Amino acid sequence: MREVNKLKGKGFDFWSHCKKRIVNGDDSRFWFDCWIRDVPLRVKFPRLFALDLNKEASVAVKLIAPIDVSFRRKARVGLEEHLLADLTSLMDSVTLSNLGDRWTKADKEIWTSAEEVALAKAWIHISTCKKVGIEQGRDKMWERILEHFIEGGGSSTRTRHGLNTKWKTMNAAMGLFNGLYIQQERDGEDVRDQYCLQDESKMKKHN
């Protein structure tokens, strides 16, 4: 556990790469563990999580009664009722048995084009900051990029390690594109110069 915390301090969240495989639900926390879909339910349904008085309840406990039985009040008409209906529908697909739960490797979260744009904007904003710029420590810089990335609409399940890795890939691709673009521009200039010389030659012949 100490090693896992050290990795997290360096920007690598080990648990974000793991997912609970639910069998009996006794050893998995309903709100906190990543056991259904790609993020914990407290992240996907923060308003409902805030209402629950039994936030540490296991999956098994939450599924033996209506989900909102431990809420401090009933879900309000509108958004909260809609969220509760979505969560209840999601639970309909869960079936428990007598075997124990176990950790497995989480499904890889696919980057969307919107997230790539959010990352690029976050990197530009933080790295060009007049106060600190690129002189800030590497870890601190990526912590700030992560914060700005999430504020810009990026997934809250991303880590600074994941952002750093993705940025290297994006940066390499942008460098390749930029090189091809510059080469294309140069080739275009050469072609235009060639046409200009041809036009000048024709004009001299006519004169």
pLDDT tens digits for 45-99? 999 999 999 999 988 888 888 999 999 999 999 999 999 999 998 888 777 766 5
Other Cβ atoms closer than 10 A to 41? 25
Nearest-angstrom CA–CA distance, 80 and 105: 32
Q: Interhelix angle for 138-151 vs 113-127, to 10°?
A: 130
127 with 194, same domain: the answer is: yes
**157-200 tens-digit pLDDT:** 777 778 888 888 888 887 877 777 777 777 666 555 565 556 55
Q: Are 62 and 157 part of one and the same domain?
A: no
Residues 131, 92 share a domain: no
Total residue count of the chain as it appears in this document = 207
Does residue 58 or residue 33 have the better pLDDT? 58
Residue-level pLDDT at 15 = 45
Residue 50 has what pLDDT?
94
Q: Clarify whether residues 81 and 157 are in a common domain.
A: no
Last residue of a domain, one of 56, 77, 105: 105
* Residue 44 and residue 72 in one domain: yes
Q: Please provide the DSSP assignment of 95-126 as one string.
A: ---SSPPEEEEPPPPPPPHHHHHHHHHHHHHH
Number of domains in the chain: 2
Q: Same domain, yes or no, for 71 and 128? A: no
pLDDT-based confidence at residue 108 (cuts at 50, 70, 90): low
pLDDT for 155: 75
Same domain, 45 and 98: yes
Return the pLDDT at 163: 83
What is the share, in percent, of the chain residues with pLDDT greater than 70?
Answer: 66
Among 12, 31, 50, residue whose Cα is nearest residue 161: 12
Residue ending a domain, among 81, 105, 129, is 105
The reported pLDDT for the residue numbered 17 is 52
What percentage of the chain carries pLDDT values higher than 90?
A: 15
Instruction: Let me know whether 52 and 142 are in one domain.
Output: no
Find the domain containing 175 and state its range.
113-206
My answer on whether 82 and 133 are in the same domain is no
Residues 10 and 101 in one domain: yes
Residue 115: phi and psi, rounded to 5, are -70, -35
**Same-domain pairing of 91 and 181:** no
Do residues 74 and 131 both lie within one domain?
A: no
Place of tokens 């209402």: 51
Q: Tell me the whole-structure pTM to 2 decimals.
A: 0.42
Q: Which of 49, 73, 105 is the last residue of a domain?
A: 105
Work out the mean pLDDT of the chain and round it to a whole number.
75
How does DSSP classify residue 45? -
| Residue 4, pLDDT score | 44
Alpha-carbon gap, residue 103 to 28, rounded angstroms = 10
pLDDT at 54 (0 to 100) = 93
Task: Please identify which residue in the block is written with the tokens 């904007």.
Answer: 121
